[in-house]
Amino acid sequence: MRRIGGYIIIGIGAIFVLATYLNIPLAIDLLWPVFLLIPAIGFHIFFFMNPQPNRAGLLVPGGILLVYAPLFFFSQLFLGGDMSTTWPFFLIGPAVGLTELYIFGNRKPALLIPIGILTVIAIVFLIANLASTQVGGILGLLLIVLGGIMVTRKKNDHYPM
């Protein structure tokens, strides 16, 4: 444990030294999700160092943060911090954490209910958000073409209806 902490401190120190002497600007407004990613990885390391089902609760916050950190990176880098279209991932985070708990814990079937509910709601809202963008328009056109092909295609099978 002490070694891991030491390596983390050395890494942070190296970043500051490189930023200072190589004149690389530290864009903390873009890099702050690292501070969520570090504990996420830590929770997983602590569990997998001694993977016992009674310790699987460590994976719930680890799984949540493991979803949120890349989400925040993506939002900062590509969307200018706007999360109006990516907010359903806030539902996927707990679903991932609970899924890890289910897989590595005691496989309690009751966990599948909130996992399913959170995942379905998130997917529905992600699709709704996607449909209101250019990607949704392209997807709609592809579906129209696919449907047209299915409707106009000559029937080749000999199965009775």
pLDDT digits (tens, 9 = 90+) for 27-47: 777 778 888 998 999 999 999
pLDDT tens digits for 89-119?
999 999 999 999 999 998 999 999 999 999 9
The C-alpha angle 158, 153, 155, rounded to 5 degrees, equals: 10
Q: Can you give the pLDDT at residue 85?
A: 84
Q: Is the pTM of this model over 0.75?
A: no
Q: What is the mean pLDDT of the chain?
A: 86
> 25 pLDDT exceeds 80?
no
